[in-house]
C-alpha cells in the first residue's frame, strides 16, 4: 500500500497572536510518499529538495520521528513504513516548513492505518515534531496545516483548538526574502517579560482579529494586525522591514507582518490583484537591496 500526501505552508502568529493563531495557504507545501512494508520499523529512505540540510536519520527527522511516535501510541511496533520526503518549500523561511513535512507524514500514516485518528487528534503528534525542529512544540503551524483555515490555540495545557470562520475573498500575499532565520534563534531573542500596557494592546488586537474573522469584517482584521511584543525584536532580522510594510499598505493590504518567526512577511488583501501588486512591489524593493526573494499568492 502506498500513498502520496501534500501538506500546506502556514502563516503562524498572524502578527499579534504569538503561538496561538495560524492559517493555512494553498501553496507552497511539502509532499510525502509513504508505503507499508513487511519489515517492522520506520525508515526514511530519501529527501529531495532540501539541498542536504535535513537529517536522514529516522530518529532525528521530524517526519519519521513523529510517525514513530504515532505508531508507539497505537502500540504497533510490528508495522513497517518507508518514507520519501519531497521538500517543495523553503526551509527556515517562517512558512511552517518543518510543520508541512511532519503533517504530511502523519496524515499519510493515519490514512494507511485506516484513518484511526481525526485531524485534531493528530495535532499533539505533530507538535512533537515541532519540538524536535525548534525546541518548542508550538501548535500554530501544525494545527492549521492539519485542520485547514484559521485555527486558534485557545490553550496548550490542556490543548484546546478552535477552527475559526474565514471571510470570503481573503488573500495572502507572502514574500520570502532569502535570508536564513532559524525558528530556534528567532524564539531565543524574544523578551520573556512584558509590560502590562503592552499586554493590553496585544490582547485587544488578538480579540479584534478573532472578532474580525467571526464578523466577516476584514477592515477590523487589518486594524488588529499590530504586534507590540514580538515584531519590534524580530523585525531587525528582516531586511527593509518597514519599507516592506509601507509598500504593502500603499498597494492595498489590509494588514502586514512577519510570517511565523520570519524572514517571510505576509499581507492580507481583499482580492488577488492587490496581493499580486503587494508582492511585486516588495520583490522589486528586495531586488534593489540585492536580496533574492520568492513570492506566493494564495486564497485563504
Ligand atoms: N509561533 C512560532 C514562533 C511560529 O513565532 O516562533 C514559528 O513558525
pLDDT digits (tens, 9 = 90+) for 83-111: 999 999 999 999 999 999 999 999 999 99
Q: Which atom of ligand 1 is nearest to the CA of 95?
A: 8
ipTM of predicted assembly, 2 dp: 0.98
Q: How confident is the model at residue 134, as a pLDDT? A: 85
Greater confidence (144 vs 1) lies with 144
Residue 199 has pLDDT above 90, yes or no: yes
Q: Report CA(186)–ligand 1 centroid distance (Å).
A: 8
102 annotated active-site: no
Neighbouring-strand partners of residue 4: 33
Ligand 1 probe mutation, 14, 139, 233, 260, most atoms within 8 A of CB:
260
- Binding site as annotated, residues for ATP: 90-100
Q: Is the pTM of this model over 0.80?
A: yes
Among 31, 130, 269, 279, the one annotated catalytic: 130
Nearest CA to ligand 1 atom 6: 261
Q: How confident is the model at residue 181, as a pLDDT? A: 79
Nearest CA to ligand 1 atom 4: 260
Residue 296 has pLDDT above 90, yes or no: yes
Q: Report CA(19)–ligand 1 centroid distance (Å).
A: 6
Ligand 1 probe mutation, 9, 12, 97, most atoms within 8 A of CB:
12
- Binding site as annotated, residues: 90-100
Q: HSE (CB half, 13 Å, CA atoms) of 289?
A: 18
Q: Which atom of ligand 1 is nearest to the CA of 10?
A: 8
For residues 106-122, average pLDDT:
97
Q: How confident is the model at residue 48, as a pLDDT? A: 96
CA 25 and chain centroid, separation: 9
Nearest CA to ligand 1 atom 8: 260
Share of the chain above pLDDT 90, in %: 91
Query: pLDDT band at residue 254, thresholds of 50, 70 and 90?
Result: very high
Buried b / exposed e along 2-22 (16+ C-beta atoms within 10 A) = eeebbbbbbbbbbbbbbebbb
Q: Report CA(53)–ligand 1 centroid distance (Å).
A: 20
Which residue shows C-alpha cell 494586525? 225
Among 10, 62, 183, 269, the one annotated catalytic: 183
For residues 126-154, average pLDDT:
95
Q: How confident is the model at residue 135, as a pLDDT? A: 86
Q: Report CA(141)–ligand 1 centroid distance (Å).
A: 8
Query: pLDDT band at residue 21, thresholds of 50, 70 and 90?
Result: very high
Which residue shows C-alpha cell 537529517? 55
Distance CA 82, CA 36 (A): 7
Ligand 1 probe mutation, 8, 9, 18, most atoms within 8 A of CB:
18
What is the residue-averaged pLDDT of the chain?
96
Nearest CA to ligand 1 atom 7: 260
166 annotated active-site: no
Residue 133 has pLDDT above 90, yes or no: no
Q: Which residues line ligand 1 (CB under 6 A)?
A: 12-13, 18-19, 94, 96, 138, 140-141, 183, 186-187, 260-261
Distance CA 70, CA 127 (A): 12
Distance CA 64, CA 82 (A): 9
Check: CB of residue 50 under 8 Å from CB of residue 44.
Answer: no
Amino acid at each position: 500500500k502506498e500513498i502520496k500526501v501534500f501538506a500546506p505552508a502556514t502563516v503562524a502568529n498572524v502578527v499579534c497572536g504569538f503561538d496561538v493563531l495560524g492559517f493555512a495557504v494553498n501553496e507552497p507545501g511539502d509532499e510525502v510518499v509513504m508505503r507499508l512494508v513487511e519489515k517492522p520499523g520506520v525508515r526514511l529512505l530519501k529527501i529531495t529538495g532540501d539541498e542536504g540540510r535535513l537529517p536522514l536519520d529516522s530518529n532525528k527527522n521530524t517526519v519519521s520521528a513523529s510517525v514513530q511516535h504515532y505508531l508507539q501510541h497505537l502500540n504497533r511496533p510490528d508495522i513497517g513504513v518507508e518514507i520519501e520526503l519531497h521538500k517543495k518549500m523553503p526551509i527556515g523561511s517562517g512558512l511552517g516548513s518543518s510543520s508541512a513535512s511532519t503533517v504530511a507524514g502523519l496524515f499519510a500514516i493515519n490514512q494507511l492505518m485506516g484513518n484511526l485518528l481525526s485531524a485534531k487528534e493528530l495535532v499533539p503528534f505533530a507538535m512533537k515534531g515541532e519540538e524536535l525542529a525548534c525546541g518548542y512544540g508550538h501548535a500554530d503551524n501544525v494545527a492549521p496545516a492539519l485542520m485547514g483555515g484559521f485555527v486558534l490555540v485557545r490553550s496548550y495545557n490542556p490543548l484546546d483548538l478552535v477552527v475559526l470562520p474565514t471571510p470570503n475573498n481573503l488573500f495572502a500575499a507572502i514574500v520570502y526574502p532569502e535570508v536564513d532565520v532559524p525558528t530556534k534563534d528567532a524564539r531565543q531573542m524574544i523578551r520573556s517579560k512584558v509590560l502590562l500596557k503592552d499586554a493590553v494592546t496585544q490582547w485587544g488586537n488578538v480579540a479584534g482579529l478573532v472578532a474580525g474573522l467571526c464578523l466577516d469584517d476584514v477592515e477590523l482584521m487589518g486594524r488588529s494586525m499590530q504586534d507590540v511584543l514580538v515584531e519590534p525584536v524580530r523585525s531587525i532580522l528582516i531586511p527593509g522591514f518597514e519599507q516592506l510594510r509601507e509598500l504593502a499598505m500603499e498597494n492595498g493590504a489590509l494588514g502586514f507582518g512577519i510570517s511565523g518567526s520570519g524572514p517571510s512577511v505576509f499581507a492580507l488583501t481583499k482580492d488577488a490583484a492587490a496581493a499580486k501588486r503587494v508582492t511585486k512591489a516588495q520583490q522589486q524593493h528586495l531586488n534593489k537591496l540585492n536580496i533574492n526573494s520568492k513570492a506566493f499568492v494564495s486564497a485563504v
